Amino acid sequence: VSMIGKLNMRTELNLMSHLDVMLSMDSANMHLASLVNIPVVSIWGATHPYAGFMGWKQLPVNTVQLDLKCRPCSVYGQKPCWRGDYACLWKIDPKQVVAKIEGIIN
């Protein structure tokens, strides 16, 4: 269910505080969930957690990312893929993401 543009910040944080886990890319929502002490499964493509953007108190084991020589290609994720195929995202197996989520909620 997309809540984009439907909630103010206080209500969004309240909603997040009731989650078992948040699935997010390297984005503001990862950090917001961290503020309300919710574990985050974070997906990293062009960016990399070692650049210092991991959510506060989030566990590195809950990251989903591929070990590619071209990563990180951008500190902030704003550059186009020099390979042209966005392998850092397209080659992530959805089963890997589901397994991370299940590892938290089970």
Report, in angstroms and rounded to the nearest whole number, the Rg of the chain calculated over CA atoms. Answer: 14
Q: How far apart are CA 24 and CA 65, in angstroms?
A: 12
- What's the whole-model pTM score? 0.88
Amino acid of residue 100: K
What percent of the chain shows pLDDT beyond 90? 79
Torsion sign, CA atoms 54, 59, 65, 69: positive
Q: Mean pLDDT of all residues in the chain?
A: 93
Query: CB-hemisphere CA count at 13 Å for 54?
Result: 17
Q: What's the pLDDT tens digit per position in 40-83?
A: 999 999 999 988 889 999 999 999 999 999 999 888 888 889 89
Give CA separation, 9 vs 14, 16, 38, 67, in Å.
Answer: 9, 10, 16, 35
